[in-house]
Amino acid sequence: MSQEAPGRLELVREFVNSVDLEDGPEQLDSPGALSAWLRERSLLPCEGSRSGDATDADLKRAIDLREALRVLLLAHHADTDEPPASAVGVVESAARRARLELRFLAPSAAAHAVPARAGVDGALGELLAIVAVAQADGTWDRLKACPWDTCKWAFYDHSRNRSGVWCSMKVCGNRAKAASFRQRRRADTHGAT
């Protein structure tokens, strides 16, 4: 089954997955790599425009935002309405830096969140604008992160009842089943003595 998110929400999934926590690699390992990643996805102007060149500070903020989004995606598995405050703070700070504004765009005059800043802050703001649209259309809650300790891979839950937990039932799901089996077995062994 595909893990891809619909429409532009796929950009957010790709951003969160710009590092493979289990096996590497880190795609955003330098300011230049961040600029290239954003340009490849048309979130920054093409090369030759100095306004899009990332700095070390931009890279740190981008990685902080990526990890805050991962925390929010993990929270989609929880039974709480309160996302972690630290992650929310990072996201809100990125939105302020991007100067997200509400604009009414033609032809339907529908409201859209649009970053007023250019450069990396604006590109990160565009990712947050995509999140806002996904929250409004109901697709945001289906974007999740695998809860397996070493995985945390972002995936889109295509299940009919929105019950998907693992990025892959064959890998992380089986790991969880095996760990649960071993734990029950230990409990049975200790309980029998």
pLDDT tens track, the chain, 193 positions: 568 999 999 999 999 999 999 888 999 999 999 999 999 999 998 765 556 689 999 999 999 999 999 999 999 987 666 888 999 999 999 999 999 999 998 778 788 899 999 999 999 999 999 999 999 999 999 999 998 888 999 999 988 876 676 676 555 755 555 544 445 455 556 666 5
User: Phi/psi at 81 (nearest 5 deg)?
Assistant: -90, -10
CATH architecture of the domain with range 9-192: Orthogonal Bundle (1.10)
What's the rounded Cα separation, in Å, for the pair 75 and 147? 9
Q: In the structure encoding, which two tokens stand for residue 32, read together?
A: 């230049």
Orientation angle between helical segments 9-16 and 56-75, nearest 10 degrees: 110
Q: In the structure encoding, which two tokens stand for residue 37, read together?
A: 């990643």
User: Phi/psi at 85 (nearest 5 deg)?
Assistant: -60, -35
What are the residues whose beta carbons fall under 8 Å from the beta carbon of 68, sequence distance 6 or more?
Answer: 86, 87, 88, 89, 90, 91, 94
pTM (two decimals): 0.85
What's the rounded Cα separation, in Å, for the pair 10 and 33? 19
Give the residue extent of every domain in the chain: 9-192
